[in-house]
C-alpha cells in the first residue's frame, strides 16, 4: 500500500515528533497534552489516517492481569482502573463516554503438570499484587462452566475481576480527539529519513515524504509493525517484525447459557463471548514474518485447526457458523515478545514504544503515561518502565515474561 502525503506541517520545528498516529502515537500525544509540566509542540505523522490496516484497527481489545511479572501485572491493573474511570481521566468532560468493559476474565487451561505449575507460580505473583486470580482443578472449572470438555485438563487459572475485553476503539478515538483539541498536530504524511548531529547522539531533523525537513527535540517511534523501518532511519536495529494473527467471529446453533471467559486452550486457540456471537483466534502453525501489506488469509485455518479445537473443548460448539474473520499484524518482538520502551542508549532523543506482540492495547494507558513522563521530566514517576528499556535489546537479554499468548 502506498501513501500519498496530503498534509504539510504547520511549523518547521517541533519539540516532539511522533512517527505513527495509531494507538501508541496517540497515547503518547494525549498524555503529553495532559501533563501539566509539558508545554511543548507535538507533531504526529501518520502515513494512513484511515487506520484501515494498522494493528489498532484489528485488535480484539482484550485485557488481563494474568502475567508472570510484577511490572506487567501493574500495567494492566492501571489499565483496568483507567478504563473504568475513563471520563474522569479525561478531565470529567461530559462528552466523553463511559467505556464498556466486559469483565468475565481469562481462563488458562493446562494439560500438563509443568504448565500447571507455571500457572500456580504466576498466580502467587498476581495475588500478592491484589489480583483475584484463582487456580482451579477440573472439578471446580466444571462446577462454574459445565460446558467444557476437561478430561485432558489438569488445572486452570481464572481471574474474574478486571479481565475480559473493553471498548478500545472509543478509547483511541477520544484520546486522539482530545490530544488535537489541546494542540497536538496530526498530519497525513510519512517520515522517510532522519538526520543526526555530528556526534551521532541526537536526531536533529526528520524528512517527510512530501519533502519538508522538520527540526525536532525528541523523536518517538510509534510505528507498530513497521518499527524497524523507522529505527533504521536513525541507524538502529530492533527485533520487531509483522506477524499474522487471525480472528474469527462465529455463531452457535446452541449458545451457552452464560458468558464464555476468554479461554486459552493448550492448542493455542483462544475463544470468548463477543456480544451475541463468539470470538476465536490463534496464530498460524507456521509463523514467519510477513510483508507489511500482506493481510491474505489462510482459509484452511478455520476448518482444519480452530473449529476442531472449539468442538473438542466445548462440545456444544459442534454446530457453529462463521460470521466474519480478519487478519491483523502483531508488532512481534522476536527477542522476548515484550515491549521496547524509552530512550536509545546513545541516541538519547530517539524513544521507542514498540514490539508489544499482541498485548499493546491493554498496556497503552500505562505506557503512554510513562513515555510522556520521560519526555516531560526525564524519568518515570508513576511506574518504573526501565525493565522494558532498549538496553536489553542491545545486550540480547530477554525480559522474562512467561504469560505470552
Residue range 345-369: mean pLDDT, rounded: 95
| pLDDT of the residue at 2 | 44
Nearest-10 crossing angle of helices 23-33, 360-377: 40
Cα-trace Rg, the chain: 21
The grid coordinates of residue 281 equal 483466534
| Whether the predicted pLDDT of 1 surpasses 50 | no
In a 10 Å sphere around its CB, with 0-12 CB exposed, 13-18 middle and 19+ buried, how is residue 97 labelled? middle
Q: What percent of the chain has pLDDT over 90?
A: 91
Pick the range with the lowest mean pLDDT from 100-104, 259-263, 307-311. 100-104
At 385, give phi and psi (nearest 5°).
Answer: -100, 10
pLDDT tens-place string over residues 113-157: 999 999 999 999 999 999 999 999 999 999 999 999 999 999 999
CA 48 to chain centre: 19
| Global confidence as pTM | 0.95
| pLDDT of the residue at 400 | 87
Q: Judge contact between 341 and 366, C-beta under 8 A.
A: no
pLDDT tens-place string over residues 167-179: 999 999 999 999 9
Q: Enumerate the H helices of 54-202 as residue ranges.
A: 55-58, 70-84, 86-89, 113-128, 138-144, 168-181
Amino acid at each position: 500500500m502506498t501513501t500519498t502525503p496530503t498534509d504539510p506541517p504547520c511549523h518547521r520545528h517541533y519539540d516532539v515528533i511522533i512517527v505513527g498516529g495509531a494507538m501508541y502515537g496517540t497515547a503518547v500525544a494525549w498524555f503529553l497534552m495532559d501533563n501539566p509540566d509539558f508545554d511543548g509542540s507535538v507533531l504526529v505523522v501518520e502515513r494512513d489516517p484511515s487506520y484501515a490496516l494498522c494493528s489498532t484497527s484489528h485488535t480484539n481489545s482484550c485485557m488481563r492481569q494474568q502475567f508472570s511479572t510484577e511490572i506487567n501485572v501493574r500495567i494492566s491493573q492501571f489499565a483496568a482502573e483507567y478504563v473504568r474511570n475513563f471520563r474522569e481521566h479525561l478531565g470529567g468532560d461530559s462528552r466523553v463516554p463511559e467505556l464498556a468493559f466486559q469483565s468475565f476474565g481469562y481462563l488458562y487451561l493446562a494439560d500438563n503438570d509443568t504448565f500447571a505449575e507455571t500457572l500456580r507460580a504466576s498466580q502467587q505473583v498476581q495475588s500478592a499484587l491484589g489480583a483475584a486470580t484463582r487456580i482451579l482443578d477440573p472439578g471446580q472449572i466444571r462446577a462454574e462452566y459445565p460446558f467444557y470438555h476437561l478430561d485432558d485438563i489438569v488445572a486452570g487459572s481464572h481471574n474474574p475481576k478486571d479481565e475480559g475485553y473493553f471498548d478500545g476503539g472509543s478509547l483511541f478515538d477520544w484520546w486522539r480527539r482530545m490530544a488535537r483539541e489541546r494542540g497536538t498536530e496530526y498530519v497525513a504524511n510519512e517520515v522517510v529519513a532522519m538526520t543526526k548531529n555530528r556526534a551521532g547522539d541526537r536526531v536533529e531533523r526528520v524528512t517527510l515524504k512530501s519533502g519538508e525537513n522538520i527540526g525536532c527535540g525528541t523523536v518517538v517511534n510509534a510505528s507498530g509493525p513497521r518499527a524497524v523501518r523507522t529505527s533504521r532511519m536513525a541507524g538502529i536495529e530492533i527485533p520487531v517484525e509483522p506477524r499474522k494473527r487471525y480472528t474469527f467471529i462465529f455463531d452457535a446453533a446452541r449458545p451457552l447459557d452464560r458468558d464464555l471467559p476468554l479461554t486459552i486452550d493448550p492448542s493455542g486457540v483462544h475463544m470468548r463471548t463477543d456480544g451475541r456471537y463468539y470470538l476465536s483466534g490463534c496464530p498460524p502453525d507456521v509463523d514467519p514474518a510477513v510483508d507489511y501489506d500482506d493481510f491474505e488469509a489462510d482459509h484452511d485455518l478455520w476448518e482444519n485447526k480452530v473449529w476442531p479445537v472449539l468442538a473438542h473443548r466445548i462440545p456444544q460448539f459442534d454446530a457453529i457458523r462463521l460470521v466474519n474473520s480478519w487478519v491483523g499484524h502483531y508488532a512481534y518482538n522476536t527477542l522476548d515478545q515484550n515491549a521496547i520502551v524509552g530512550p536509545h542508549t546513545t541516541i538519547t532523543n530517539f524513544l521507542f514504544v514498540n514490539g508489544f506482540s499482541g498485548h499493546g492495547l491493554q498496556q497503552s494507558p500505562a505506557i503512554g503515561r510513562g513515555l510522556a513522563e520521560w519526555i516531560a521530566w526525564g524519568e518515570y514517576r508513576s511506574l518504573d518502565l526501565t525493565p522494558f528499556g532498549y538496553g536489553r535489546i542491545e545486550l540480547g537479554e530477554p525480559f522474562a515474561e512467561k504469560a505470552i499468548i
